[in-house]
Amino acid sequence: MVKDNTLGSLLIDIVVAVVLVILALSTILPLWYTLCVSLSDKSAAAAGLVKLWPVGFNLTSYKSIVGDVNFFHAFWVSIQRVTLGTAAELAATLLMAYPLSKSANQFPPRNVIMWLLIFAWLFSGGLIPWYQTMKSIHLINNIWGLVLGNSLPIFNVILVMNFFRNLPKEIEEAALIDGAGPWQIFLEIYLPLSKPVIATVALFSMVYHWNEFFNGLVLSTRQAYYPLQTYIQQQIVVINTASMTQDQIQQLNEISNQTLNAAKIFIAMIPILLIYPFLQKYFIKGITLGSVKE
């Protein structure tokens, strides 16, 4: 960068730094506030005394979550959903992307299949027909409804396909001359070369399945089938928004447990915080990966 120490330039430096620091704090402080509330005394939180440090520090809310069977059950549903959903999506995506990465010359049906997928990706039958379909194949109150219901993420297929296409053609040609079959080329050559894109789409799936609440809501008729986000949505958000008048709000403050809710919210954030370094590394790359093409 050019050295520039005029007064105007210094002014730009200061304004830029101040604005960016405020923006960065705005992303962190609400999360920090939630943590502080979860660690505060219940009545102090209800009275709005908690600012940016816990008031009357205690672990009561976390202790009561440890004894909450429903919370752990929902957590377990989410863990199953993330594991099965990521595995299924990854397997189907990689398998599908390989033949589609061939040119129409090498594999003539490729273009037709591609157009079908793009149509399926961009057009939707809407909520009600989808719900009726799920109902008619008995995926209500069923973990497989949550795992499979959103269908295969076609964007991921396109992402991996484009990555495969950008691998040097010579590698495959050499393998063909040595007599390798399609499975061998796919499993032993393409997959080991594709770790970054595999990590990217795996993280896409994990974040999606962890964060998704709506399918959990409409595909479950009983709380026992809720994943964690749906459980939290029903426990916290619904009650909060239903409270309207000032009197009701005050009543609600007395019965609802703000510190406990904050603790639940914070625990639901932890898995995302744990994989955040990987998300930064691969997700960010994923944005630019998609548009790369020969």
Partner 1 sequence: MRLKSFYKHYYVMLLPGLLWVFVFKIIPMFGVVMAFQRFNPGKGILGSAWIGLENFKYMLQLNDSKTIFFNTAFIAVLKILGNLIVPVLVALMLNELRLNSLKRGIQTVIYLPHFLSWVILAGIMLDVFAYHGPVNSVRSALGNGPILFFAKAELFVPLVVGSDIWKEFGFNAVVYLAALTAINPELYEAAAIDGASRFQRIIHITLPGIRTVIILMTVLSLRNVLEANFDQIFNLYNPLVYSSGDIIDTWVYRMGLLQMQYGLATAVGLLKSVIGFVMIALSYFLARKYANYNIF
CA–CA separation, 63 and 84 (whole Å): 30
DSSP H or E run through 109: none
Give the other-Cβ count within 10 Å of 82's Cβ: 23
CA–CA separation, 73 and 223 (whole Å): 10
Please identify which residue in 70, 76, 83, 129 interacts with partner 1, judged by CB under 8 A.
129
Give the other-Cβ count within 10 Å of 258's Cβ: 22
CA–CA separation, 90 and 201 (whole Å): 7
Interacting residues with partner 1 between 37 and 56 (CB under 8 A) = 37, 46-48, 51
Please identify which residue in 66, 69, 128, 255 interacts with partner 1, judged by CB under 8 A.
128
Interacting residues with partner 1 between 171 and 190 (CB under 8 A) = 173, 176, 181-183, 186
Specify the residue, 54 or 212, whose C-beta has the smaller distance to partner 1: 212
Interacting residues with partner 1 between 5 and 24 (CB under 8 A) = 6, 8-9, 12-13, 16-17, 19-21, 23-24
CA 67, distance to chain mean position in Å, is: 27
Q: How many residues are given for the chain?
A: 294
Interacting residues with partner 1 between 204 and 233 (CB under 8 A) = 207, 210-214, 218, 229-230, 232-233
List the x/- string, 53-92, binding to partner 1 by CB under 8 A: --------------------------------------xx
Cβ contact 264:64 at 8 Å: no
CA–CA separation, 99 and 182 (whole Å): 9
How many angstroms separate the first and last alpha carbons of the chain?
32
Is residue 196 at the binding interface for partner 1, with CB under 8 A as the rule? no
| Residue 198 beta carbon to partner 1: minimum distance, rounded to whole angstroms | 16
Q: Which stretch binds partner 1 (CB under 8 A): 55-63, 69-77, 188-196, 242-250?
A: 242-250
Q: Which amino acid is at 224?
A: A
Encoding tokens for residue 192?
């080991």
55: left (phi over 0), alpha (psi -120 to 50) or beta: beta
Q: Which stretch binds partner 1 (CB under 8 A): 63-71, 73-81, 188-196, 281-289?
A: 281-289
Q: Which amino acid is at 282?
A: Y
Interacting residues with partner 1 between 139 and 158 (CB under 8 A) = 148-152, 154, 157-158
Specify the residue, 57 or 115, whose C-beta has the smaller distance to partner 1: 115
181-188 long-range Cβ contacts below 8 angstroms, 24+ apart: 182/98, 186/95, 186/98
Specify the residue, 192 or 246, whose C-beta has the smaller distance to partner 1: 246
Specify the residue, 106 or 141, whose C-beta has the smaller distance to partner 1: 106
| Residue 50 beta carbon to partner 1: minimum distance, rounded to whole angstroms | 8
Q: Which stretch binds partner 1 (CB under 8 A): 63-71, 76-84, 194-202, 274-282?
A: 274-282
